[in-house]
Chains A and B, each alone.
Chain A
Amino acid sequence: MESSVVVLLAGDSGDGIQLLGGQMVRAAAQSGRDVRTLSDFPAEIRAPQGTVSGVSGFQFRIAGHAIHDPGALADCFVAFNAAAYAKYAHQLKPGGLLIAASEGFDARSLALAKLPADADLLNSARARFRVLELPLKDLTARALAEVSLGQRDKMRSRNMLVLGVLTWMYGMPAAVVEAELRAVFRGDETNLMAFKAGLHFAETLEVQDYRVTLEHYGAERGTFRTINGSQAVALGLAAAAHQLGRPLLYSSYPITPASDILHELAKMQPEYVTVLQAEDEIAAVTSALGASFAGGLGVTASSGPGLSLKAEGLGLAVMTELPLVLIDVQRGGPSTGLPTKTEQSDLGLALHGRHGEAPIPVLAARTSADAFDAVLLAAKIAVECMTPVILLSDAYLAGSAQPWRIPNLSELPRITPPRGTAGEAPYARDAHGVRPWVAPGTPGGAHRIGGLEGEDGSGRISYEPANHQAMVRARAAKVDAAIRLYGPLEWVQRCPGSETLVLAWGSTYGAVRSDVERRAAEGQMLDYIHLRHLHPLHAELKPTVDRYRRVVVIEMNEGQLAHHLQGLWARPVESVCKTTGQPFTSEELATLWN
């Protein structure tokens, strides 16, 4: 019995790879296994068919125990064509199973993939892998012989035939998948027929040799769904609006990979939530801020270049001391960079990228599901501290799916707005340095705020040197006081006598955790803290770090957190980093440091 299996699906971006992967994940999750996924798709909507640049990939890992990352090398690789094979063959384990769609390796496919006409890929693959050739086109055509559709339309169901094969191979509950497909394709039997054909083919023919039995995972009780990072953010915002009980304006401009949050919220229509597709990134942040001035919660999201454009708006949010949540779904940069690939390289911009002295809280989500809690916490800090907050996510989390237990409403954190009745000066501060939030419409509360420096307390325009100094420090102190809303320091692993501390943040969590757990099992004593908060840092972090001889910071950039911490702490830290557009794998981490 296997404890974990990694499957990589790849084909043309028109082959329905992501849909196929998504169904496998849902089936696995519902069969009581833990699942993690990794999508890899081209930036072009329809890249030329059959070419390497048009290859879409989807990796998932299914396990009979709790897992934290989608794995590195695949146990099984389903290649729909030669281009997919050429792109990903190196990611299949030696001796792993290659399932190849025969028709995707014909002369035409080789030509499209720019491979030599005499390249006998499958034959040479046999030297390294176990190869199962599937005449996918013929099988699909046969399964759909009775259906009155053109050949081209029928071939769209090839992915469902593969779903049938994989469902059987990995012992997924076929009835569950069938019910799912009925729901997805409402009344269209074609895909269902292809699925069943795949299932029967696998059951009755040679595929038996490849069957893998996976352990079942004693998952917690409750109601579950699968969730990716974009869905988690959208649901978290719906929850934040509910907990606040005030209008929430989600205003954003289309940008990959942040747009899916916009789509999800627009589709969900949660109470209190209004969705605006703004005319540009600047309008997105400033309209959100307008909503906050009016007593609601303004939320905006973007990715790299969009975050740059929002910097001006963040400055105004700092100055007017209004709540605002900005979700940055990081991607490879700078500029358009790698718009569909992942990176953590906006950290420096999030921490420092504003004009003037403008500190704001910055936090990061560690998993897709965690983005739900992270966005709720971001909203809570924004409202309760009257400050803009940046929540960092990334392309990997946005598209990565996992099972998620739906929380009860009673488990959600309270979000308590500061006092909002007239009578106090606009910039009067409470014990935590927080000013009142008096929304227009409040009787007797008329006041003016703006981008000009305001007098301490009254908020009236002031150019007094001492006042500016005092206000700069008051704003910073208010942000520093956000730590009162933090949970405990995020220890992931503590080993007796460890002199080395690993620090990581954001979506590297799964890979780093798998890596440090393996190292500990092999006798390398390591402690690991996965930072939720990048600014202000957790109060216990510095004293904790001081106890270690060695600090290793792991991140998907060229050392931005490491540089930041060295500056803050005046002590050396070791930086383990990469910027390939791909998330770390734990196997890779094992080779990157000792």
Chain B
Amino acid sequence: MELTAKNFQSAEEVRWCPGCGDYSILKQFTEVLASTGADPDRTVVVSGIGCSSRLPYYVDTYGIHSLHGRAPAVATGIKLANPDLDVWIITGDGDALSIGGNHLIHALRRNLNVPILLFNNEIYGLTKGQFSPTSKGGQVTKSTPRGSVDHPLNPLTLALGAGATWVARSMDRNPAHLRDLLTQSQAHQGSALLEIYQNCNVFHDGAFETWTDKSTQALHAIFLEAGKPIAWGGSEPTHALAWNAGRPEIRPLGPGFGLADAWIHDPSDRLKAFALAELVGELRPFGVLYAAERPVFAAGHQAGTRPLQEVLHSGRTWTVE
């Protein structure tokens, strides 16, 4: 029997705030589980703590809602005990980048064979509105009434720096794009870090409107496609990026500079992926910035094979008759 998204919805009542971006992510997630033919008996959703991390309760597969920031470590243990399981990590900006920063970078460098869905809303939601590691400088929150003085962390450059083999970005407001990226993250062999712009309509509403709103999206969001020019501006692109002396350069498309002259996106180019990830102003990339192959983690960590009898008698022994 083919399963539908509905089959992946658990009986638990979904308790995010009305209008939260998490609803869309949950919906796309269950749809992707259905469309990719996920086996609920072999699928495990692991989360930390935070609004995003409630997601496993709402998905009818195996799931564990663990400790704040620790989901990558829990998932590591799960994969080592049973590498055949399809494990997903659900995390947020506070969970993954603040309290769990260490576990995230080590999961990435080890290339743990797991998609990591990082719901970034630039705020602590569950604790009711403190600034997070991705909050913008100057952002006014409950704990920063005079504006945050911390410099924001860039999840994508962090992931690339940590040695991630697949780094991408999507958004809650673009279901088709999100489904596509979720599907790709699952197909990747190794750690797949997918940052998902997620609107917290209660504590930080509209944080990503520039890129998610239909009226402004075309001018500011670049949707990357491998082998295609990096261009934006609507169905007929108006601008493109050029790779100029090791730097991205924004060029209007026109007679002097056509799509054929633009920078062709090559997700295997780590240096250029850094350059794309560094676009943190009004222009931001979505899609797969970087994808590479490297042996996955569990392969190098297999159980021993020496029989117990042999192990007990190893080393120098003597016998008393």
Contact = CB atoms under 8 A, between A and B. Distances in A.
B10 interface: yes
A268 B82 contact: no
Interface stretch (A103-111, A435-443, A495-503): A435-443
B57 interface: yes
Nearest to A405: B320
A541 interface: no
Interface in B1-45: 10-12, 40-44
B103 A283 contact: yes
Given A30-B318, A239-B308, A247-B80, 17 more contacts: A235-B312, A238-B308, A239-B312, A249-B81, A268-B314, A269-B304, A269-B305, A276-B77, A283-B106, A290-B66, A290-B80, A293-B74, A312-B67, A440-B43, A444-B41, A448-B10, A449-B63
Given A223-B319, A443-B41, A446-B41, A409 B308 contact: yes
Nearest to B305: A271
B57 A238 contact: no
Nearest to B99: A282
Contact of B303 (A271, A280, A288, A407): A271
B301 interface: yes
A224 B63 contact: no
Task: Describe A's contact surface by its main secondary structure.
Answer: mixed
A451 B80 contact: no
A367 to B, nearest CB: 18
Interface in A258-302: 268-276, 278-280, 282-283, 286-296, 298
A32 interface: yes
A448 B64 contact: yes
A477 interface: no
Given A247-B82, A272-B304, A450-B64, A220 B320 contact: yes
Interface in B305-321: 305-309, 311-321
A247 B103 contact: no
B26 to A, nearest CB: 14
Interface residues of B, number: 59
Interface string A56-83: 0000000000000000000000000000
A539 interface: no
21 contacts: A221-B321, A222-B320, A223-B318, A268-B314, A272-B303, A274-B80, A274-B301, A276-B80, A278-B76, A279-B102, A279-B106, A290-B76, A293-B44, A409-B308, A440-B62, A440-B85, A441-B42, A441-B82, A445-B62, A448-B10, A449-B64
Given A276-B76, A287-B76, A293-B64, A270 B40 contact: no
A183 B316 contact: yes
Contacts of B313: 223, 225, 406
Which residue of A225, A293, A441 has the most chain B CB atoms within 10 A of its CB atom? A293
- State which size class the interface on A falls in: 35 or more
Contacts of B57: 448, 450, 461
A283 B64 contact: no
Contacts of A406: 312-313, 317
A280 B60 contact: no
Nearest to B104: A279
B70 interface: yes
Nearest to A407: B312
Given A279-B102, A287-B74, A446-B40, A271 B308 contact: yes
Contact of B80 (A280, A287, A450): A287
Interface of B: 10-12, 40-44, 46-47, 49, 56-57, 59-67, 70, 72-82, 84-85, 102-103, 106, 301-309, 311-321
B81 A294 contact: yes
A447 interface: yes
A286 B70 contact: yes
Contacts of A470: none
A278 B73 contact: yes
Given A271-B304, A409-B308, A289 B77 contact: yes
The 3 closest A-B pairs by CB, nearest first: A290-B77, A450-B65, A269-B304
A485 interface: no
A313 interface: yes
A225 B319 CA distance: 9
Interface string A22-38: 00001001101000000
A320 B102 contact: no
B66 A450 contact: yes
Given A282-B70, A441-B84, A446 B61 contact: yes
Contacts of B314: 268
A271 to B, nearest CB: 6
A117 interface: no
Which residue of A276, A278, A312, A450 has the most chain B CB atoms within 10 A of its CB atom? A450
A219 interface: yes
Contact of A446 (B60, B66, B80, B102): B60
Nearest to B103: A283
Interface string A209-232: 000000000011111110000000
B108 to A, nearest CB: 11
B39 to A, nearest CB: 9
A503 to B, nearest CB: 33
A242 interface: yes
A310 to B, nearest CB: 11
A589 interface: no
Contacts of B312: 235, 238-239, 406-407
B196 to A, nearest CB: 21
A263 to B, nearest CB: 13
B63 A448 contact: yes
A32 B12 CA distance: 66
B78 A409 contact: no
A251 interface: yes
A316 interface: yes
Nearest to A183: B316
B320 A283 contact: no
A382 to B, nearest CB: 15
B77 A288 contact: yes
Contact of A290 (B10, B61, B78, B316): B78
A440 B49 contact: no
A452 interface: yes
A515 interface: no
B9 to A, nearest CB: 12
Contact of A235 (B84, B311, B317): B311
Contacts of B66: 286, 289-290, 316, 450-451
Contacts of A270: 304, 306, 308, 311
A159 B45 CA distance: 57
B303 A273 contact: yes
Contacts of B308: 238-239, 242, 270-271, 409
A461 B311 CA distance: 45
Nearest to A287: B77
A274 B76 CA distance: 12
Contacts of B64: 290, 293, 320, 448-450
A87 interface: no
A460 interface: yes
A226 to B, nearest CB: 8
A225 B304 contact: no
Contacts of B76: 276, 278, 283, 287, 290
A26 B42 CA distance: 50
